[in-house]
Amino acid sequence: MTHNNGQLSPSCTANILRDISHIPRKKLGQNFLVDSNIVRKSLELADVNPNDCIVEIGPGLGTLTGALISRGARVWAVEIDPELYAYLRDTFRDEENLNLINADALEFPLAGLPPDVPDFKIVANLPYAISTPWLDGVLSGRLPQKMVLMLQKEAAERFSASSSSGDYTPISAMLSQAYAAISKHKVSASCFYPRPKVDSILMALERLPNPLIFSPRAKAAMRFAFSMRRKQLGTIAKNAGEFSPHFLKWLESSPEIRASDRPETVEPHIWSRLNTIIEQTK
């Protein structure tokens, strides 16, 4: 079997699934890309060049994978489904540029990319159920130069939300301090097989010149604050346990915010100051 170059059609996809007796698993978000324009667009947005190191999450039937390899990229991919993993192993068996693991992307957010790879990009049609915790994992470590992600519309809105919007959450603030969202494209359900019941967005992100990584403690403090998003910052600060002194210091030293403000109105760069305070006073 040879791999495709991102040219799978709905009937070809249905045939492969039948041949390998695989019924798409809804729980694993198995909606396969069947539109070569979207595959091409994803590679174009990621500016994929020969020898680029690319991480892919959930390669599925290898549509994006094949296209990436055809461009000369080296790919690290993580697929959780053992049947799809076996199919990919067989299909790409002669491919030296594919490093595939059968694992959970939440445990391997960078698909086992070796630490000595100097820089890399992520191109992925994500399983929608894990997009937020997976992105949180990516934002905790080595940051890719670019990310081109297929997302459920609601996740794309959350990721790019600004303060005061109902979609604003810790992930919106953290992402905006490390990446610029350079484009968002609506993708029709007809580009996938089977067709998903949700709307999709292809989002391209570029790493900022001085990206900020929030520490695990700062993330925990922010999550605590957002779990009380209707409460005032002053009340949150008094009830934040080990983080109370940090929140109080943050409030005192941030003229832009008041104790009567709510977490959802605090702009990302002010949250980044809470990160600094927490890290300075461990």
> How far is it, in rounded angstroms, from Cα 197 to Cα 194?
9
Applying CB under 6 A, among 54, 105, 178, 203 the residue interacting with ligand SAM is 105
Stretch that binds ligand SAM, among 73-81, 181-189, 226-234, 274-282 (CB under 6 A): 73-81
| Total residues at interface with ligand SAM (CB under 6 A) | 24
First CA to last CA distance, the chain: 56
Stretch that binds ligand SAM, among 79-87, 136-144, 224-232, 263-271 (CB under 6 A): 79-87
Asked whether position 106 contacts ligand SAM by CB under 6 A, the answer is yes
Asked whether position 64 contacts ligand SAM by CB under 6 A, the answer is yes
Structure token digits, residue 238? 């008094």
Specify which residues 153 forms β-bridges with: none
Specify which residues 206 forms β-bridges with: 146, 180
Asked whether position 59 contacts ligand SAM by CB under 6 A, the answer is yes
Asked whether position 30 contacts ligand SAM by CB under 6 A, the answer is yes
Residue 104 or 119 having the CB closest to ligand SAM: 104
> How far is it, in rounded angstroms, from Cα 2 to Cα 194?
23
Stretch that binds ligand SAM, among 27-35, 88-96, 159-167, 245-253 (CB under 6 A): 27-35
Residue 265 and residue 163 in contact, taking contact as beta carbons nearer than 8 Å: yes
H helical segments located in the chain: 10-19, 36-46, 63-70, 82-91, 131-138, 153-159, 170-176, 216-227, 233-238, 244-252, 268-280
Residue 54: exposure state from Cβ atoms within 10 A (0-12, 13-18, ≥19): buried
Applying CB under 6 A, among 6, 52, 58, 74 the residue interacting with ligand SAM is 58
Asked whether position 76 contacts ligand SAM by CB under 6 A, the answer is no
Asked whether position 149 contacts ligand SAM by CB under 6 A, the answer is no
Residue 144 and residue 138 in contact, taking contact as beta carbons nearer than 8 Å: yes
Stretch that binds ligand SAM, among 101-109, 161-169, 217-225, 256-264 (CB under 6 A): 101-109
Residue 99 or 265 having the CB closest to ligand SAM: 99
Stretch that binds ligand SAM, among 26-34, 206-214, 260-268, 272-280 (CB under 6 A): 26-34
> How far is it, in rounded angstroms, from Cα 52 to Cα 59?
17
What residues make contact with ligand SAM under the rule CB under 6 A? 28-33, 57-61, 63-64, 78-81, 84, 104-106, 125, 127, 130
